[in-house]
Structure formats: C-alpha cells, structure tokens
C-alpha cells in the first residue's frame, strides 16, 4: 500500500515492544483503517495478527473513505463489500477479548475524579489512566485511594477500597464546590455571594509584578528589540 507513511509494520512493533519492555503495564492505543486502496488480503491478515498479538485495550477502527481531491481518491479502490467485511472481522476480533483480565487481583492507587454515567459509581484512574469504578462515597471524590481490583470489563476495572488504607488528598487545596470559580480572593468570594462583584486587579488575582535584576534585564532587552522592529517597519513604509 502507498499511504506515504515513513514507517512499516516492523517499525511499529519495534516501538511498541520497546515501550512495553521499558514501561510494564503501559496502555497502547492505535487507529486502523480498513480497505485503504491497495490493501490485499495478506495485508489485512497482518493487521489481524497485530491485534491478536497486542490485544490493544483501545482500538479505533474506520473504513477508508475516498475524500475528493486527495491522491488516494484517484487510486484503485478496494470494493465496498470487502471493506465492510474486513471492518466487521476486525471489530469482532477486538470485542473477543478483555484486555484487563490479567489485572484482577492487583492492588492499585487510583485518583477518584468523577461520577459514572449511570450515577452508580465514582470513576477513578490508575497511573496508566485506565478507568476504575469504585464505590460512590462522598469522601472519595477528588482523593487518592488504594483499591483491590476484583473485576475487569472490556473498558473498565472495578476496585474495592482496601480496608484501613489512607485516603489521600493530592492537593493542598480543597476541591471547588460546583459553580465555584478558582482564582478569586476571599474578599471577592464574599462580594460575589452578596451579589456585589469586586473589580479584578493584578493584586486580587495573585499576580506579582515584582521583578528581580534578571527580570528587569530581560524586560529591557525585550523592549529594545521591540523598538528596533518598530523603527525598521517605519523606515520601510517611508
């Protein structure tokens, strides 16, 4: 196939193997186009073998569409029914495995970030940004907790909080309440609550205009360069 890519399948596997060796547990995701012009049955089977080998936890599968005006649109196209069949086979392969089964039984530290779509759990993420569902307890929101992984689905893990483990707040600041704006001073917060909006000033939002010697030097150089540019433009316009 002539996709104008500067790498081949061997290059891809070399990079993935290198990353998996150096970062155990790393999450590898990829995109696959089915039916690019020139794709043979052998090419497609090589793609299938690649997915079987790495069992990508996240895989974006698309049929090739000939966008008008592009070089690929002028190439000999793979028949539509073939593209459709290959996409179907690849999708079936992707849904035939659970990429997280081997993580059941692990103990993980996760950051609880949000509520699940069905509002039954809190959603947390481990260091590989894999989604971990945990019990919906208010004291967990915005905190780091330790969990035992006891279930794995296609796109998620489910964790049980470890007994007697410490709930850690990863920031020195408390999470903002819903609708609260960050960066406001206590005076502005009080004014806002009373319906009065205090003006924003550099001092009120915590900005500092104090420059040390190095800062003044950089500012001076910057202004000098700006002056040179302005003079140059002015002379060109004369």
The pLDDT of residue 39 is above 50: yes
CB 67 within 8 A of CB 40: no
Same domain membership, residue 124 and residue 88? no
Helix (H) or strand (E) holding 187: helix 186-193
Q: Is residue 55 part of a domain?
A: yes
Encode pLDDT of 87-120 as tens digits: 999 999 999 999 999 999 999 999 999 999 999 9
Q: What is the DSSP letter of 65?
A: -
CATH of residue 118's domain is 2.40.50.140
Same domain membership, residue 116 and residue 132? yes
pTM equals: 0.65
Same domain membership, residue 106 and residue 80? no
- What is the number of residues in the chain? 238
Q: Is residue 195 part of a domain?
A: no
For residue 60, name the pLDDT band (cuts at 50, 70, 90): very high
Same domain membership, residue 44 and residue 116? no
CB 161 within 8 A of CB 145: yes
Q: Tell me how many domains the chain contains.
A: 2
Encode pLDDT of 159-174 as tens digits: 999 998 888 887 656 6
Same domain membership, residue 77 and residue 13? yes
Q: Is residue 3 part of a domain?
A: no
Same domain membership, residue 148 and residue 78? no
The pLDDT of residue 193 is above 80: no
Q: Is residue 26 part of a domain?
A: yes
List 157's β-bridge partners, or say none.
132, 152
Residue-range definition of the domain harbouring residue 59: 9-94
Q: Is residue 233 part of a domain?
A: no
Last residue of a domain, one of 74, 94, 114: 94
CA atoms within 13 A on the CB side of 76: 4
């Amino acid at each position: 196939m002539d996709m104008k890519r500067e790498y081949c399948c061997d290059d891809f596997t070399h990079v993935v193997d290198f990353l998996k060796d150096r970062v155990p547990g790393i999450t590898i995701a990829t995109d696959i186009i089915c039916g690019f012009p020139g794709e043979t049955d052998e090419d497609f089977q090589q793609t299938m073998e690649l997915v079987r080998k790495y069992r990508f936890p996240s895989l974006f599968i698309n049929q090739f569409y000939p966008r008008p005006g592009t070089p690929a649109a002028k190439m000999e196209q793979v028949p539509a029914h073939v593209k459709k069949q290959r996409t179907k086979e690849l999708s079936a392969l992707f849904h035939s495995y659970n990429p997280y089964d081997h993580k059941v039984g692990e103990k993980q530290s996760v950051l609880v970030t949000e509520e699940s779509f069905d509002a039954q759990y809190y959603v947390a993420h481990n260091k590989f940004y894999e989604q971990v569902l945990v019990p919906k307890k208010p004291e967990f929101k915005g905190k780091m907790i330790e969990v035992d992984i006891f279930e794995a689905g296609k796109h998620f893990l489910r964790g049980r909080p470890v007994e007697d483990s410490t709930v850690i707040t990863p920031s020195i600041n408390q999470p903002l309440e819903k609708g609260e704006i960050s960066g406001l001073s206590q005076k502005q917060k009080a004014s806002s609550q009373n319906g009065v909006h205090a003006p924003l000033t550099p001092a009120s939002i915590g900005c500092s205009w104090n420059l040390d010697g190095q800062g003044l030097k950089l500012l001076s150089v910057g202004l000098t360069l700006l002056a040179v540019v302005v003079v140059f433009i002015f002379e060109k316009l004369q």
